Amino acid sequence: MVLRGKAADAVRSATAASMASVVSVVLLMWLRTSMSYQHVKGLSLKDALQELYAQGGVARFYRGMIPALCMMPLSRFGDIFSNELSRELLSGSFRAGIVTMFASSLAACWRILITPADCIKTMMQVHGNEGLALLQDKVAKNGIIALYDGALGASWVGHYPWFVTYNFLVGFCERNRILDAHLQNQNTTRKNVRRALIGLCSSLVSDVCSNAIRVLKTYKQTSIEPVTYLEAAQRIIDKDGLRGLLFRGLSSKLTANALNAMLFTVVWKAISERMAMQKSQLERKAG
């Protein structure tokens, strides 16, 4: 019963996260499209914005919107469920880094399963109207495995840095009584500021640590011909040097993910608390 209750809590939090992710997709899709385009083309944000706009105006920034609205809630559900369940079951026995490592392994398996949706989204972001046709040709030539290009780069490394920072900062704020983190009844403004700052710090750490892998993932995923990670890295380095591999699109990524992390963390927790309150009210009525 205890395990079932903890799993139910994790599902509720993950459901809230998937709902919150829809908000971030709608508001920040244009910036994420620019970031993916930079990862492949090696352009500055200004040049990427100009090229994308020239290809189709404002609508060009929203190519891949439908698969993004499918993929992001699923991705967030898996990420948050893995993290919350791992914290519920393991936090009393292991340190935050070990708990998050276990959570990241669970999340990685989930992300690999939903990689085809991410592949469709990214192809449409980078190649625009031709994206789906190019992907169909790629699948026809190389089989269904083409939909999983970049799966490894989108799995474990995308989860661990964010959540190990998040879990550490949540515990740090509670232990040190920062912005009312230790209180049961918290001031709403302080609570939201604390959550936004935790989301921001988690995003900054994750982006800096994982950008090179993300660049390789996007390049491999959107390449018309099959390429290995090593070949993708060599092509990028030949064109822009090691700096290109490490820093392509990083400024856009920092901006997009910082905004997304603050927005997502606040909305996710607000929805999660609302759902928990409704559950508590139903239990009191039933009792």
Residue type, 220: K
The per-residue pLDDT for 3 is: 60
- Per-residue CA distances from 41 to 38, 48, 99, 134, 211 (Å): 5, 8, 37, 17, 15
Neighbours of 102 (CB within 10 A): 17
CA–CA distance, 240 with 247 (Å, rounded to integer):
10
The per-residue pLDDT for 137 is: 94
- Per-residue CA distances from 211 to 44, 51, 254 (Å): 15, 22, 10
Q: How many residues does the chain have?
A: 287
Q: For residue 166, what are its two tokens?
A: 């998040």
Residue whose token pair is 């972001």: 125
CA–CA distance, 199 with 178 (Å, rounded to integer):
15
- Per-residue CA distances from 142 to 133, 148, 150, 155, 231 (Å): 14, 11, 15, 22, 17
The CA-to-CA distance between both ends of the chain, in Å, stands at 18
| pTM (2 d.p.) | 0.79
CA–CA distance, 21 with 180 (Å, rounded to integer):
26
CA–CA distance, 47 with 63 (Å, rounded to integer):
18
Q: Which residues of the chain have pLDDT under 50?
A: none
Q: List, in order of start, the domains of the chain with CATH numbers.
A: 2-286 (1.50.40.10)
Helix (H/G/I), strand (E/B), else coil: 186: coil
- Per-residue CA distances from 188 to 168, 191, 192 (Å): 22, 5, 6
Residue type, 178: I
CA–CA distance, 62 with 25 (Å, rounded to integer):
10
